[in-house]
Chain A
């Protein structure tokens, strides 16, 4: 039997395959199609203090091997999340990772404070959503000092596992990751979407009202893989890798490049069975190659 178990911070997971924030709702939307008990962890849609309506349409645009999105963090808000969404997920035997997003350090702090007593496995701090405008148009994940401030504040209240989700839209992701590690993060999730845009040629206007949108899917895989590699070289804490993962081989590339766990995002839209298939193939691979533990493969790239 291959051993798929992994540990990130204090969080024990039965396998390293997650579904990425924003692509799997609050889990229940997929429950009729996917056996949620099989998943390593579900990262829920980023929640904000108050419910958010999100951006104007259009919000999605298919590109060559990819997808641009401009959702604008539409979510039910903290209160409904705690009252309705979290209890639903707690019925399942899967890791629950709650993603939070805010526009100010204060908002992250309040979210952490409100969530500290709830039952789930880890908090993912999304400081990298490209689809919400903050006053400065600078993301927390684009400045080591801003990132540090958010993590410090969250850490004050939240003592269990803290994951920080970073944007690839920076020159040196290692620098940001190091700042997060120093500020007390237990793990780094890379990547959120790459900045991109599309043009409506008929009208001569940008497809998205915000102009910029976030690119994901296989189109970004080589780019994301390198960001994961750079991050894992820079920090000692575990890295959760994602970007265009469609099958086990994609996932294995991330693991070799230093990811302790992987997440499937837009792949779920194409085939909701992808995460479960990856888990099955991973186990088979370990068994056939007599590799024992998946954790032994992490960062095993021969350079």
Chain B
């Protein structure tokens, strides 16, 4: 965990309201594992604006990139930042995915797809895993990172709710079809996306008895496990911190 002033190497729109931010940081890049996130201070000065948690999308030797959607004040301001400006970043934070070998299915919805790219790269490069990625989006323009996954050597399945690209419907319907085919059993399913999607992925994997890890989001204060602000209910009672015990959880650990 570091607190670094990171120079912005790039901050550009990729499609719709989605942006890619590339930050210079050797130390964060060297320490990060897939599923971890950065807590970014968007505004300097004494103005009070909480840091924004954003997942790591990709690492290079000297840089870390993220993909974000502008949804409010913080991400809106972030999108106005120019290369060469710098941002105060704390990271890498949280507990990432457990890498497994064999066949893995990655299910992503919305910006959730972003963190799965880093995961897919490590699964393929470090574990020689066979990776199938299912990308869900509302419409064709919002399908994120399809080519990036193909270039890594993943099998890519695309799903749009309006049917403008790939399978028409929810990404979870595609997952259900996939898991129902005899012999298709992956060793593990990883999922990142909106809560209803994660709920359904959790239900399906439990039904098919396949281990599953999900990445969760919650409003954060400190981002380092100190304030107890970002909790989700644990299956066995009590609460778990998304920033420290997660954001990646075994789907059986949390009450989705």
Contacts and interface: CB of A to CB of B under 8 A. Distances in A.
Contacts of B3: 33, 272-273
A278 interface: no
Contacts of A45: 226, 228
B81 to A, nearest CB: 17
Interface string B217-256: 0111111111111111100011100001000000000000
A139 to B, nearest CB: 20
Given A29-B226, A270-B50, 8 more contacts: A30-B226, A33-B1, A53-B237, A57-B231, A60-B220, A69-B221, A268-B226, A269-B222
Contacts of B147: none
A60 B230 contact: yes
Interface magnitude class on chain B? 20 to 34
B233 to A, nearest CB: 8
Interface of A: 22-25, 29-30, 32-33, 45, 53-54, 56-62, 65-67, 69, 71, 74-75, 217-219, 244, 246-247, 266, 268-273
Contacts of B49: 62, 270
Interface stretch (B16-24, B40-48, B158-166): B40-48
Given A60-B230, A269-B227, A246 B222 contact: no
Contacts of B239: 53-54, 74
Contacts of A270: 41, 48-51
Given A25-B226, A69-B221, A74-B231, A269 B47 contact: no
Nearest to A32: B1
A183 B13 CA distance: 62
A268 B1 contact: no
A256 to B, nearest CB: 18
A56 B255 CA distance: 13
B88 interface: yes
A22 B231 contact: no
Pairs A-B, 6 closest by C-beta atoms: A25-B226, A29-B226, A60-B229, A74-B228, A32-B1, A65-B48
B221 A60 contact: yes
A90 to B, nearest CB: 18
Contacts of A218: 46, 48
For A66, A67, A75, the residue with the greatest tally of chain B CB atoms inside 10 Å of its CB is A67
A54 B228 contact: yes
Given A22-B227, A59-B229, A271 B88 contact: yes
Contacts of B238: 53
B53 to A, nearest CB: 12
A65 B47 contact: yes
A272 B225 CA distance: 13
Interface in B2-21: 2-3
A269 B1 contact: no
Contact of B219 (A23, A60, A272): A60
A48 B252 CA distance: 29
B139 to A, nearest CB: 22
A61 B1 CA distance: 25
B13 to A, nearest CB: 25
Given A74-B239, A273-B3, A25 B227 contact: yes
A65 to B, nearest CB: 5
8 contacts: A23-B222, A25-B226, A53-B238, A57-B233, A58-B218, A244-B48, A268-B226, A271-B88
